[in-house]
Structure 1
Amino acid sequence: MNKHQVETLLSSFAGSDVSSPFGPDALVYKVKGKMYALVSQNEDIARVTLKCKPEDGEVLISQFESISPGYYMNKRHWITIKLCGEVDSNILMDLAHHSYQLIVAKLKKSERTALLIGE
């Protein structure tokens, strides 16, 4: 997946909102005000940072050279993936969806319900 495809995927999640609170070098994806992804901009090889379970992050970091602990994030709960082609698109899509789901699971029940009905 390239940067544009990742951004399109992240934007497709229910209630997704994108902004640049850290300036033009990063797009931040949030749901109900909670960040679930960050995509670098203006780099030769773009990176996406996603939330993950600590045990999953450890396994992924050990398996892929292009996956490292979250860049500028809590290294235990976030991973950064260089979009260089090493990580299969299906894996990347699963990781993005899982990051989103981790955040949604922590929302209030009323907020989760609003996402389901499209408010």
Structure 2
Amino acid sequence: MDSDILQHWARARAEELPGAYADQPFGPEVDVFRVRERMFMALSLSTGAATVTLKAAPEDAEALRAAFPAIIPGYHMNKRHWITLRPDGSLEQDLVQELVTEAYRLVVAGLPRTRRPVDPEIFGRI
């Protein structure tokens, strides 16, 4: 898998999510995706390859890291709550898109109800 494809899959999914937008608070080499000012994903070239860093529930992050060699602790992030996807060819598009959606749902669930663009309990699950 080309590293650009991994980021393309993640970016395409994030751009579909209600209220999501990208900015570059760390400079032009990192695209940060947010919902209501809260980060759920970063696309970066900082490790030498185009990686995707996502918010994750701690128990999910641990299981994903155990199951997939291409998923490592979040690069330059809290290792318990973030994962980084590396482009080694082992990750399928559906998994990448679901991980982006789950990262978004986690952040939305932490927002006050009046600021949520979707209901995180059902969004993307039906």
Which residue is 1:104 aligned to?
108
Name which of 62, 81, 85 aligns with 1:81: 85
* Separation in 2, partners of 1:83, 1:14: 27
User: Is residue 5 from structure 1 mapped to residue 9 from structure 2 by the alignment?
Assistant: yes
Consecutive unaligned residues of structure 1, counting only runs of 5 or more, are: none
Normalised TM-score (structure 1)? 0.88
SS of equivalent to 2:100: helix
* Separation in 2, partners of 1:2, 1:59: 20
Q: CA 1:80/1:42 → structure 2, altered by over 3 Å: closer, same or farther? A: closer
Deviations 1:55-90 (A, max 9, x none): 111111111111100000000000000133211111
Name which of 59, 64, 67 aligns with 1:60: 64
* Separation in 2, partners of 1:42, 1:94: 24
Q: CA 1:12/1:56 → structure 2, altered by over 3 Å: closer, same or farther? A: same
RMSD: 1.6
Which residue is 1:95 aligned to?
99
Consecutive unaligned residues of structure 2, counting only runs of 5 or more, are: 119-126
SS of equivalent to 2:53: strand
Normalised TM-score (structure 2)? 0.83
Mapping for residues 30-69 of structure 1, pairs under 5 Å:
30-41=34-45, 45-69=49-73
Q: Which amino acid aligns with 1:28?
A: V
Q: Number of residues paired by the alignment?
A: 114
